[in-house]
A and B are shown apart, each in its own frame.
Chain A
Amino acid sequence: MSVSRFWRKIPQRYNLIGTQCTTCGRYFFPPRSFCPECRRDGEIVDYQFKGDGEIVTYTVIRSASDQFENTTPYVLAIVRLDEGADLTAQVVCTPEEARIGMRVRSVFRRIAADGESGVIHYGTKFVPAE
């Protein structure tokens, strides 16, 4: 991913800052600037997620793109945050530990190293919280 495209979303990626529509109460992560329910009537504000959630589904990536190839195998999951927003993130645990319904909590971690630009990308991962 290009450096500018990554840096633009640093507050969101580093601190799990998403958005909330105060009209209907829905939370969004990844952040949305337009509520799919309320559309033009939606009032969107930033929201700091607490970082607690559970695994909706997961997999173990054994074969990855070049950026991630030296970190395989890794657990990738869809995590439902307690506020009710779903996101895709890695879970720092063994393949055997991962299971649907497992409680997790967010941590700040290195995600990948970009071979071409030499930039190390950081962002949100999850760890088991049971």
Chain B
Amino acid sequence: MRDVAVIGIGCTQFGEHWSTSFRNLFVEAGALALEDAGVTGEQIDALYVGNMSAGRFVEQEHIGALIADYAGLASNHIPSTRVEAACASGGLAFRQAVISVASGMEDIVVAAGVEKMTDVGTGASVDTLAGAADREWEGFAGATFPGLYAMIANDYMHRYSLTREQLAQVAVKNHANGAKNPIAQFRQQITVDTVLKSSLVADPLRLFDCSPITDGAAAVVVVPLERAREFTDTPVRVLASAQASDTIALHDRREISTLDATVAAGRRAFQQAGIEHRDIDMLEVHDCFTIAEICAIEDLGFCAKGEAGKLTEEGVTALHGDIPVNTSGGLKACGHPVGATGIKQIYEIVKQIRGEATGRQVDAEIGMAHNVGGTGATVAVHILGGC
């Protein structure tokens, strides 16, 4: 197996792109990543694209070929593969690119993620996102995606100590970070009161506990570490690439408020990298809902179960806390174009490690990305470090 490095990154503005098409979102992110890497289109050996549901959101399937075509690569006939694992599609696309390069099969590979969600109405997007869980046995009964995470929150609050205010502080922190990120969908600060006075979506979760509906795309270029310096002075090494799965339905989990797939992927990632928790300088975790960030911090092992609410309240996970979580603003404030999110996490970590996260820069040599599909049926964890 070869060591792998990220040599280029690109990301569109996250938000509502009324005037930009699905394909152009991808083209913009891809071009930024290639320019950043100093790589030309002719040099690319393969493309992996994370996308959850272009079929439902923009009525387009077969997007591997589509984006290769509109990226101007049709005449090169390179392999282009769509990767789908609901909201973890981006993390898995990155992992496929890493595996491909590590194996020696391909050398210069683009991993991307794209989602265009605002072309359909809210009801239709709620219904599409419910497909990330068990459509026949959860969705049929009337489960929405926020509803499933709300059941995680209620189970969590029943077992462990977590106040409604502590939960709100996750959103407050992520908005504070998003306000400093030029690509973020929401760039305004909020207060605990903003969250507590927003409308109930699924008790106890309110509108400001939920990540938004977002359009966006992100792309990164990976190569064998031994070739990285041909392209850049600041390669970022992939120290670990782990993935785990669990039951598709929340009701079949061992414990509702512990994501065992996060636990498994996290452990594998630490083992691969040969490092410990104290070596991680920053985290991008999958905060599709505020409760998800609380669970992620604990299930990745950064504190015991039941302690993440207190850590958040004390500012430990804030931008300049001991372990900054979601410096990008997370899914909550940066936005959550589901297929792109996993790649945007890699983008943010590379920005931080290179020292290019102007306005929100933390002292980071090693960062971890945690990307969840559904309610935890798929989890990807990556660790990246400077070299």
| A-to-B contact residues, CB < 8 Å | 1, 5-6, 9, 13, 30, 56-69, 71, 74, 76-78, 86-90, 95, 100, 111-112, 121, 123
Contacts and interface: CB of A to CB of B under 8 A. Distances in A.
A61 to B, nearest CB: 5
Contacts of A60: 200, 202-203
A64 B256 contact: no
B59 interface: no
Interface stretch (B92-100, B132-140, B235-243): B132-140
Interface residues of B, number: 37
Given A62-B203, A66-B127, A67-B127, A100 B142 contact: no
B249 A61 contact: no
B374 to A, nearest CB: 13
B248 to A, nearest CB: 10
A61 B256 contact: no
A65 B130 contact: yes
A77 B143 CA distance: 9
Contacts of A30: 134, 136-137, 249
17 contacts: A56-B155, A56-B251, A57-B152, A57-B155, A59-B150, A60-B203, A64-B142, A64-B144, A65-B123, A65-B126, A76-B141, A88-B134, A88-B141, A88-B251, A95-B203, A112-B142, A121-B140
A13 B150 CA distance: 24
Q: Which residue, of B126, B136, B142, B151, has the highest number of chain A Cβ atoms within 10 A?
A: B142
B202 A61 contact: yes
Contacts of B136: 1, 5, 9, 30
Nearest to A67: B127
Interface of B: 123-124, 126-127, 130, 134-144, 146-147, 150-155, 158, 199-205, 249-252, 256
B127 A63 contact: no
B276 to A, nearest CB: 33
A66 B124 CA distance: 7
B151 A58 contact: yes
Contacts of A74: 142
B141 A100 contact: no
Contact of B137 (A65, A69, A88, A90): A88
Given A63-B201, A65-B126, A65-B130, A90 B142 contact: yes
A126 to B, nearest CB: 10
Contacts of B123: 65-66, 69
Given A56-B251, A66-B123, 8 more contacts: A13-B140, A58-B151, A59-B150, A59-B151, A62-B203, A65-B130, A77-B151, A86-B252
Contacts of B151: 57-59, 76-78
The 5 A-B pairs of least Cβ separation, nearest first, read A59-B150, A66-B123, A65-B127, A57-B155, A86-B251
Nearest to B204: A59
B140 A64 contact: no
B207 to A, nearest CB: 9
A58 B137 CA distance: 15
A5 B140 CA distance: 11
B202 A100 contact: no
A111 B136 CA distance: 13
B147 A57 contact: no
A90 B141 contact: yes
A88 to B, nearest CB: 5
Given A56-B256, A58-B154, A65-B123, A1 B141 contact: no
A87 B135 CA distance: 13
Contacts of B143: 61, 76, 88
A59 B249 contact: no
Contacts of B200: 60, 62
A1 B78 CA distance: 37
Contacts of A76: 141-143, 147, 151, 202
Nearest to A87: B251
A80 B143 CA distance: 16
Q: Which residue, of B134, B144, B152, B205, has the highest number of chain A Cβ atoms within 10 A?
A: B144
A87 B126 contact: no
Contacts of A68: 142
